[in-house]
Amino acid sequence: MPGLVRRAGGAGAPPVRRGNTLLRHLAIAIVIGVVVVIGTYQIEPFRNYQLATIGVYLCVLPGLILLTGFNGQISLGHGALMAAGAYTVALVQDALGGEAQWHLLVSVLSGVVTATVLGAIIGVAAARLHGPYLAGATLAVAAAVPAVTTTFDGLFGGDAGLSFAMAPAPESLGVYFPFERWQAWLTLLGAAITLLLLANLVRSRFGRTLRAVRDDEVAASLAGIHVARVQVLAFVVSAAGAGLGGALFAVLAQSVSPGAYGLTLSLNLMLAIVLGGLGGLRGALWGAIALVALQPLADAATRGFSFSPEVQQRLDGTLPLAVFGLALIVVMTTAPGGVDGLVSRATRRLRRSR
């Protein structure tokens, strides 16, 4: 029957209506959104800023899980795609003046489009690359961000980067409405849209095609699937999420600089999805929380020690990555499926015990 798809269990599995799946995901998103909005009134501005940062990463990580976990492509260049979205926001906001709310909407959409086009170019160029060769190619893209901004410093501001004006929260929310809460709402709205779209995408025919290409490219090709086209489309979808995350990241800081989108960011994004779990989009939530909690954990680890200023400066750049790497080793040793796999196993055992 049209409009029906079957579960992965086989031909005898009961059909699932796509419309029902969309409505269920939409209802879940609305309920969670209402709870989160109410929660933003109960926490201090700094916690709202942290929540906004989690929202930024929740725009990027689901697309990276789609690319790596569902399609089998390894990308170490998503920091560069975030930079494309962020710099586009800065340039468009500066051109428009940034005084109205619609300026921000145009800027963010422009950032998404720019990153999507860049992702399509990278995807086409890397369509014939696999494994470490693809990882190396995308790694080169991430490493090129500082060089590009320095070469075209008249446009991108060089190492200092760009700053831009941004309209305050709408007057309808009140004169004294905290700006951090408004930022949290913006980024969490972007995260909700991203998760809603991708959750339905992975359950569609395209999602099954992604998994078929990941499992066996030869068998997928014999089944009539255009493997290169699917891989490029997966990269484009993932790049759009990275562009949205980069654009909202720029909104949080109201400035952009090459140091914020360097190679470390790309590596952290890959580490986050492995730590959270590649088996489903829920792993993006755990990865985003880990990325935000990384710096406080690193600060807590060094608080009890006294270092010279030179040593402290070196630790500021390397210790967070070391803490993240240690956490990754522990999780991979105890739970190869990531935190999401560990939680899923614990939930199943709890149900069985009941």
Q: Round to whole Å and give the CA distance between 155 and 137.
A: 26
Interacting residues of 343 by C-beta distance below 8 A, sequence separation 6+: 286
Q: Are 270 and 69 in contact (CB under 8 A)?
A: no
pLDDT value for 22: 73
pLDDT value for 15: 45
Interacting residues of 62 by C-beta distance below 8 A, sequence separation 6+: 194, 195, 198, 241, 281, 284
Q: Round to whole Å and give the CA distance between 184 and 252.
A: 9
Per-residue pLDDT of the chain (354 residues; tens, 9 = 90+): 333 333 334 333 344 455 577 787 788 888 888 888 898 889 999 999 999 999 999 999 999 999 999 988 888 889 999 999 999 999 999 998 877 888 999 999 999 999 999 999 988 887 777 777 888 888 888 888 888 888 888 888 888 889 888 888 888 888 788 889 999 999 999 999 999 999 999 988 999 999 999 988 889 888 888 888 999 999 999 999 999 999 999 999 999 998 889 888 888 899 899 888 888 898 999 999 988 987 777 666 666 566 667 766 666 666 666 777 777 787 777 777 888 888 888 888 888 887
pLDDT value for 313: 65
Q: Say what the alpha-carbon torsion angle 222, 116, 243, 287 is, to the nearest 10 degrees.
A: 0
DSSP type of residue 69: I
What would the two tokens of residue 187 be?
């980024």
Interacting residues of 323 by C-beta distance below 8 A, sequence separation 6+: 294, 297, 298, 301
Interacting residues of 276 by C-beta distance below 8 A, sequence separation 6+: 61, 65, 282, 283, 284, 285, 286, 287, 288, 290, 338, 339, 340
